Structure 1
Amino acid sequence: MPTLTSTAGKPTAAVYVDGFNLFRRALHGRGDLKWLDLELLCSHLLPTYDVGQIRYFTARVRHVEGRNPSGPQNQEAYLRALATLPSVSLHFGTFRADKRWMALSPLERDAAGEPRRVRVRKIEEKGTDVSLASHMVCDAMHDLVDTYFLLSNDSDFAEALRLVRSRARRQVGLIVPAGAAARELLRLEPDEIRVVREGNLRESQFPDRIVDELGGFSRPKAWREAGAPFRGTGPRAG
């Protein structure tokens, strides 16, 4: 993999986006902000860097009883929008919704002294964390850019950041989706720390309508109705 070079005389950067963490912490219940242009967001958060690579890690959701039935369709529209951005690559794990027996909390015991259990539905995404950490470390070992930014607040990524710094000897940065950074990540003393504010999200929305090689498509209806639309037509992909 070739090293990315800056055309603007700035240090180069790559950003690794934990899609589910970003949505849970900064976009949950905010349909007016979900049509998020990651290139614009990175330009607002990292103006002194030339961000040549944005890797977005997620899993394709599927309809689960009791949840928004339009969720998978909305996500597909968003993934299609992201695919029009030259610096963005998409990486997929898997989405699982399993039924399991689990102990009650607070713990209750039956007549035999065994914990009482109930059947629950456990929803999780698998493989995205491992993929993100692997790509970040691999890119750093190949000296892809000057600084490697994690956009997540999941402390499970602390070891990947530590390896980028100690083994690849590269700078690491942290972009916190919202609120305070996790202690495990702060203990690494990242070279750069940014926090995503609502203003950053609002200023980084795709146009309502985008055109790619397949034609035109729009921001999902539910997201349009959640806030005032940003009007215009986006560029063609490629």
Structure 2
Amino acid sequence: MHFLAGGMRTNVYVDGFNLYYGCLKGTPHKWLDLEALFDRVLPNNTIECIHYFTARVEARPNDPDVAVRQATYLRALSTLPRVRVHYGTFLASPVRAPVLECDANGKPIRQNGKLVVKRKPNGAVQMEWVHKTEEKGSDVNLAAHLLRDALKGVVPCAVVVSNDSDLLMPVHMAQIDGGIVVGLVPPRPQGSAELKRMANFKRDIRPHHLAASQFADVLQDAVGLITKPNTW
């Protein structure tokens, strides 16, 4: 964990949804310049490429503009020469799920650490149809690109930005079979302890890194102006 990677040519592999839910949701820092961020978080590394893995979201009943905001952000990312965006898929499907007991504030109730499900008078669990959305492919795409680059010797150092323990084996293979140094930037402190132990080094994203790494409110590309979403 105390490996020094100073000056190493480095590629960064970012799980976009992990990054968003780990340190961006609910903050004023969503208009994030990834090049500026990782140059700050990894000041002693020479960052050659930032691979960003995501999926295009669809409008939701409670947030009809979410897809427009994401498209605007992806367009902003396209102005950064060292960023490559890779797309998985976003699936929506109806599923039946147990209904939870909630308190007066609408929050799920727990007993002995376990969620409490509603039951019918006959004791059967009360079920409802719910709209489930699920992102597919980002973790697999990240692992594939990490391993390909490691085995081809593209760079001597890779940095993974994720909390996902599913990446344990790809990281291990990149280190052992690819012979590269693999660092970790966990988007939230409570990420996989195993992944932290396996990484050769770890760096954390601090609030001041995010605040100092924002795009300008208005950018320009070949199409025209790109304006930061009003709610961001």
- Say yes or no: TM over 0.5: yes
8 Å Cα contact 1:173/1:191 also seen in 2: yes
Work out the CA distance in 1 between the residues paired with 2:17 and 2:10. Answer: 22
Q: How do residues 74-89 of structure 1 correspond to structure 2 at under 5 angstroms? A: 74-89=69-84
8 Å Cα contact 1:84/1:212 also seen in 2: yes
TM-score (structure 2 length as normaliser): 0.85
> 99-108 vs 53-62, which deviates more?
99-108
Q: How do residues 56-75 of structure 1 correspond to structure 2 at under 5 angstroms? A: 56-66=52-62, 68-75=63-70
TM-score (structure 1 length as normaliser): 0.83
Is 1:198 aligned to residue 207 of structure 2? yes
Give structure 1 stretches of 5+ with no counterpart.
1-8, 224-238
After superposition, the Cα gap between the structure-2 partners of 1:220 and 1:135, relative to the gap in structure 1 and judged at 3 Å, is same
Work out the CA distance in 2 between the residues paired with 1:19 and 1:76. Answer: 13
How far did residue 114 of structure 1 move?
Answer: 6.1
Q: Which residue of 2 aligns with 1:141?
A: 151
How far did residue 64 of structure 1 move?
Answer: 1.7
Work out the CA distance in 2 between the residues paired with 1:20 and 1:36. Answer: 13
8 Å Cα contact 2:10/2:46 also seen in 1: yes
8 Å Cα contact 1:148/1:172 also seen in 2: yes
Q: Which residue of 1 aligns with 2:20?
A: 23
Is 1:185 aligned to residue 180 of structure 2? no
Give structure 2 stretches of 5+ with no counterpart.
1-5, 101-115
Letter paired with 2:214: Q
Letter paired with 1:101: R
1:208 equivalent among 192, 217, 220: 217
How far did residue 40 of structure 1 move?
Answer: 0.3
Work out the CA distance in 1 between the residues paired with 2:196 and 2:25. Answer: 24
Q: Which residue of 2 aligns with 1:155?
A: 165
How far did residue 222 of structure 1 move?
Answer: 1.3
- SS state at 2:68 partner: helix
8 Å Cα contact 1:177/1:195 also seen in 2: yes
After superposition, the Cα gap between the structure-2 partners of 1:181 and 1:115, relative to the gap in structure 1 and judged at 3 Å, is closer
Letter paired with 2:143: A
Alignment root-mean-square deviation, CA: 1.8
Work out the CA distance in 1 between the residues paired with 2:193 and 2:143. Answer: 18
Work out the CA distance in 2 between the residues paired with 1:180 and 1:195. Answer: 12
Letter paired with 1:179: P
How far did residue 179 of structure 1 move?
Answer: 2.0
Work out the CA distance in 2 between the residues paired with 1:10 and 1:187. Answer: 23
8 Å Cα contact 1:149/1:172 also seen in 2: yes
8 Å Cα contact 1:64/1:97 also seen in 2: no
Is 1:219 aligned to residue 228 of structure 2? yes
